[in-house]
Structure formats: C-alpha cells, structure tokens
C-alpha cells in the first residue's frame, strides 16, 4: 500500500475527502519525524512506538571488494510494534 492508497482507505473509513486524509497523513508523519529529531517517542496504544535509535560510528566491510571503511554515527527512526499488532 502506498501513500495515495492509504489516503483513500482513510478517507473511506473516516468519511472525509482524500485531500483531507492526505493532509492528516502528512501531519502525522511530520509529528513523528519532529519527535524523532528531538529524541522523543510517539506511543500509539495497540499499534506501537516510534522512537529515535542512535547507532555509533563503526567499521564496516564493502561486500564487493572486502575493503574496510568507517560508517558515520547516525540516528534513525525505529518502530516497535505493540503486542496486539505482533499477534496479527
């Protein structure tokens, strides 16, 4: 399912227009990304938790050449599903 299909499903379920559903999805994504940038978590009961995950700098290997290179430290967005979602 892509973003437009999700917007259609949300609009059908909520009884709103697709444009409004698309705006709501964009606002949700912006809120989650903003929380991750400030190292906060977003917890949705019965669905899961979005959180910032920090990875330290490390040495990695290029699989094609075998050359060792340094990977920079980075922070990425991670999702931990709720137990109700895991059971599906």
Q: 27-44 burial string, b = 16+ CB within 10 Å, else e? A: eeeeebeebbeeeeebee
Q: What's the pLDDT score for residue 88? A: 82
Per the CB < 8 A criterion, the answer to whether 59 and 70 are in contact is: yes
* Positive or negative: CA dihedral 35, 54, 43, 82: positive
Please provide the average confidence, as pLDDT, over all residues in the chain: 94
pLDDT in tens, 18-35: 999 999 999 999 999 999
| CA distance linking residue 6 with residue 48, whole number of Å | 18
């Amino acid at each position: 399912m892509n973003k437009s299909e999700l917007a259609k499903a949300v609009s059908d379920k909520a009884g709103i227009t697709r444009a409004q559903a698309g705006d709501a999805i964009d606002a949700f994504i912006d809120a989650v990304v903003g929380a991750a940038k400030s190292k906060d978590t977003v917890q949705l009961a019965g669905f899961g938790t979005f959180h910032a995950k920090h990875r330290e700098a490390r040495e990695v290997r290029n699989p094609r050449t075998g050359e060792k290179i340094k990977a920079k430290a980075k922070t990425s967005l991670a999702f931990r599903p709720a137990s109700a979602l895991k059971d599906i």
